[in-house]
Chain A
Amino acid sequence: MAYVIIGNSAAAVSAVEAIRSVDRDTPISLYCDEQAPIYSRCMLSYYLAGHVEKDDLRFRDDGWYERMAVEPHLGSAVTGLDADRKKLRLADGSEASYDKLLVATGAKARSLGRPGEELPGVFRLRNLPDAEGIVARLGEANRVAVLGGGLVGLKAAYALRERGMEVSVLVRSDHLMSQVADARAGDLIRERLEEKGIEVRTGVDAKAIAGDGGVKAVELSEGGAVECGMVVVGKGVDSNLDVVKESGIEAHWGIVTDEHMQTSAPEVYAAGDVAETRDLLTGERTVNAIWPNASEQGRVAGFNMAGRERTYPGSLAMNSVDFYGRSLMAVGKVRKLDQGAEEVVDYQPERGRYRKLVIRDGRLIGLLIVGSMQGVGTALALIKAGVPVAEIQEVLLAEDFDYAKILHLVKQYPEAFGRREFLLTVKSAVG
């Protein structure tokens, strides 16, 4: 018996830790195309900003492989798999066998698809080499254009501003973070970025990147150009499906998984940014490509691989960002209003405060906040478990909302809070 893991990031690490919590003995091999030891790509913007060193990117220490009894094959890309023979094809032409396989190959940054993208000075931000490339070029450019107003684009913009660059964020939609938030929230973030000297231009589209041996400007479809010596493209991600391409394993946006995180092939599991799961709120198949989902899916996959049945309840869109002390958190369906859904809003832009609940059929399906993070985790638990909230709308919207304020509901829905933890928080309430 041997477990094989492809990937070396959130989903992979979490799966290994789950397996090892119940099975100390069976060999685990891990393959990763990148050379670097375990590092967190979410931290790359902090590295880019100069706030942390390269070593700080590690979210597990050097002794981890040994403690977990994992045989790492770093710098060894998997190029394909034969699910009938249970074999992997490696980049050097050799093969490796598995009994149980986890595909945790994550995602790659989308390219811009416009001329000039290959010019020196044009970057994406997904891997350590991307970040190192930007850092190496810092002295050569004063102005950077960031294409895209999503999470990664804005984190890059913030980081490069921290390095003293002149930053212009160019966004096609009419507000920032349009994939995760609404215009009110996006504009509150925009306000803070602009206060700190980051230029934001919405409703503009990059037609081409101009330059000769290096970036000179971004040309806009609307006419005109933004001069810059560097471009960072932040246009979202696509799952890394190459490994399963000719394997017959079912994949659309990502590799299709069932509630055990198993793929259409026996003994082959998938987790993280590469995995397509059922969305907890819409019931539709999708890739919710964020770190907590990757970890949880990896954990569920790991337990199932080790023969301990676990079911995955479904993925949830959620995000947290903080720019210059202004936080934004978006959980669930907050972007546009679905049919039959209603919004309850506390919007106080002068205080930098915004709180929006989205409710459908008496259940919370979305929460969007800017400013105070009070009670967000408790609300998230209510969303996940589909707890009826009609009676507590005002409580949820209040500035002092927290777990203690809904103990009566907690008693009725202990599973929303982890049954055991609930029993222990309010012992007398059930005793």
Chain B
Amino acid sequence: MPRVICDNERCLACKACEIACAVQHSAAKSLAGVFEEPPRVRVSRLPEARGLPLRCMQCEEAPCVMACMSGALQRDAETGLVKHDADKCVGCWMCVMVCPFGGVRPLRSRGVVTKCDLCEGEETPACVAACPTHALSVDETTAEEV
């Protein structure tokens, strides 16, 4: 399964990935979308101008899928990706409670969560394309290879 990985030595916590993510997922795909659509990746600031973008890792044994009691989070049989269906989500936050990476973000105002969808349909995820230091990339390593 593909996922966005981070060379954390390179991350400068500039948040370009956050903005690109918000724009990509906004209705108009414009900068105004930054205010309308919360990013699915969140940069955690670390000392010395470092950071780590927290995001969904598309876990093989995804705890969020096992915790989701509405069926909003399910593994896609074809792509193997963990998918979230906001229409089914009821905002119980069970998935937030069990995600080790902080990759599922609660949106209190809407009563649902949101997470990385790898910008399905695009060639490169927006965050990866936007990262000025090339800290982010898409990794397709399978379990056996690690």
A-side residues, CB < 8 A to B, are 10, 14, 40, 42-43, 46, 51-52, 56, 58-60, 67, 291-292, 295-296, 299, 318, 320-322, 325, 327, 329, 331, 373-378, 380-381, 400, 402-405, 407, 416-421, 423-429
Contacts and interface: CB of A to CB of B under 8 A. Distances in A.
Interface in B2-44: 3, 5-10, 44
Interface string B47-73: 000011010010111010111111100
B125 interface: no
A292 B94 contact: yes
What are the nearest 9 A-B pairs in CB distance? A59-B71, A404-B44, A404-B52, A295-B66, A42-B69, A381-B100, A377-B99, A292-B67, A421-B57
Nearest to A17: B75
25 contacts: A43-B70, A56-B70, A59-B68, A59-B70, A291-B94, A292-B63, A292-B98, A296-B66, A299-B66, A320-B97, A377-B97, A402-B102, A403-B102, A404-B51, A407-B8, A416-B100, A417-B100, A420-B141, A421-B100, A424-B5, A425-B101, A426-B6, A426-B52, A427-B5, A427-B7
Contacts of A67: 77
B: contact size bracket: 35 or more
A357 B96 CA distance: 18
Contacts of A407: 8, 52
A67 B3 CA distance: 26
Contacts of A59: 68-71, 88
A416 B101 CA distance: 11
Interface of B: 3, 5-10, 44, 46, 51-52, 54, 57, 59-61, 63, 65-71, 77, 88, 90-94, 96-102, 104, 106, 108, 139, 141, 143, 146
B78 to A, nearest CB: 11
A77 to B, nearest CB: 24
Contacts of B108: 325
B63 to A, nearest CB: 7
A10 to B, nearest CB: 7
Nearest to A291: B69
A373 B8 CA distance: 24
B93 A418 contact: no
A424 B7 CA distance: 9
Given A378-B100, A417-B100, A420-B143, 8 more contacts: A56-B70, A58-B71, A296-B66, A373-B93, A403-B100, A421-B59, A425-B5, A425-B101
B9 A428 contact: yes
Contact of A320 (B59, B61, B94): B94
B93 A322 contact: yes
Contacts of A331: 97
Contacts of B71: 40, 58-60
Contact of B102 (A60, A292, A299, A375): A375
Contacts of B8: 407, 425-429
A259 to B, nearest CB: 16
B3 A424 contact: yes
Nearest to A410: B100
Nearest to B69: A42
A316 B5 CA distance: 30
B67 to A, nearest CB: 4
A155 B55 CA distance: 31
A242 B93 CA distance: 33
A381 to B, nearest CB: 4
Contact of A424 (B57, B94, B99): B57
Nearest to A294: B66
Contacts of B101: 377-378, 403, 417, 421, 425
Contacts of A427: 5-8, 139
B7 A418 contact: no
A78 to B, nearest CB: 24
Interface centre among A329, A407, A423, A427 (most CB of B within 10 A): A427
